Structures are given as structure tokens and as C-alpha cells.
Copies of this chain bind each other. A is one copy, B any other.
Amino acid sequence: MSSFEVVYFAVSARAQSIRSMLSLAEVNWKNRVPQWPEEKESMPFGRLPQLNETTPEGSKFSLVESGAIERYLARKYGFLPSDNQISSKLESYALQIKDSQKAYLHHVVKSKTEESKAAMEEQFRFLFKCHEPILAASPSGHYHGNSITYPDIVLYTLYSQATKRNCGRLFNELECPHIMKLVTSMDSNKKIAYAIATVE
């Protein structure tokens, strides 16, 4: 079985879904906080997060771009099914959740203006409107099937980030009861909690 290194700053931001997947897959993995910006020049793409994989035979594989890393792991460990239509639909859900995440991170970390707050809230309203019917129609309460898949993980990452930064009120029983049901059920997942706790 391969072992993995997640190279990123000691924050949640763009690495949390990656860490959660590695933890859920029960593989050998660790975080590494790089010397920054000193290391930047030595990295082929100068970008974080970076995933480094070492196979049992010692061969190496390295990947950047958080979305590409997430989908690589999701395919490898079954958080995206092999069916192209189902998998692409789940990817589109994850991308919609990521629009809210981008607006959230932009507001909370960078901009902190009334304008960025309004943009964030609009993205969350859009997310709730589109995704509540999907989850309401699912007997298991998951986006697909009876277990955790890619969009579940991305959604929970957003929820846990918002909750940690006192933006938890964005998620509430009134506007998004089925999203609340899903993220609350994932709150008790010890593997995800472990992944989060590795940096926070």
C-alpha cells in the first residue's frame, strides 16, 4: 500500500478534503509543513497543496492542484465510482460546494468586507437551493448510495471550516435541514475528526 505526504501550511483551507480522504481510506499518511517561500523554487509547480505518494516498491508520484489531488484520491479509494456519468455528476456537486468554499475563504481570510460577505452569503444560498432537493431525495442522506462519497467530504470540509471560524450560522435547520443532517452525521466520524485535528 502506498504512503502519502501532504505538503501544505498547518491550516485547513485547501487541504482538508485531501486529508479527510486519506484518513477515511486508512492509508499511511502525514502532513509536512514546507519552508516557505524557500522551498517554492525547488518545486516544479511552486504550488500548495502538493501530494507526494511513495509505493511499497519505492516509486514516487507527485501531484499539485487541490481539485486534481482530491479526484485522484477519490478515484483511487472509491469516493468516486467508476461510472462516468455518476462520477461526473458527483464532481459537479463538489464543484458547486467549492464555489461556496472559495467565497467563504475569500471573505474570512482575505477580503473581510461587506461586499465579500454578501458574495459569500449568495453562494451559500445558491448551494442550499440546489443541493437540498438532492439530499432530500436520498434515502441514506448521502449524495450517492449509502456511504460517504466525494461531495459529502467536500461539504463537510466547508461546514467544519465555517464552524471553526464562527460562521457556523451559515448552516442552519431552517435553510438547509438535509445538509445539516448529513454534516451532523459526519461530525461523529473519528477518521475525519483525526484528519482535522492533525493541524488544528
> Which residues does A use to contact B, with CB under 8 Å?
44-46, 61, 63-65, 67-69, 71-72, 75-76, 84-85, 88-89, 91-92, 95-96, 126, 130, 133
Copies of this subunit: 2
Whether A96 and B45, one on each chain, are in contact in the complex, defined by CB atoms closer than 8 angstroms, is yes
User: If the complex has contacts A72-B88, A76-B84, A88-B72, are A95 and B130 also in contact, measured as CB distance less than 8 A?
Assistant: no
**A46-B130, A68-B92 provided; 18 other pairs, C-beta below 8 A?**
A44-B133, A45-B130, A46-B126, A61-B85, A63-B88, A63-B89, A63-B92, A65-B91, A65-B95, A65-B96, A67-B95, A68-B95, A69-B92, A71-B88, A71-B91, A72-B88, A75-B84, A76-B84
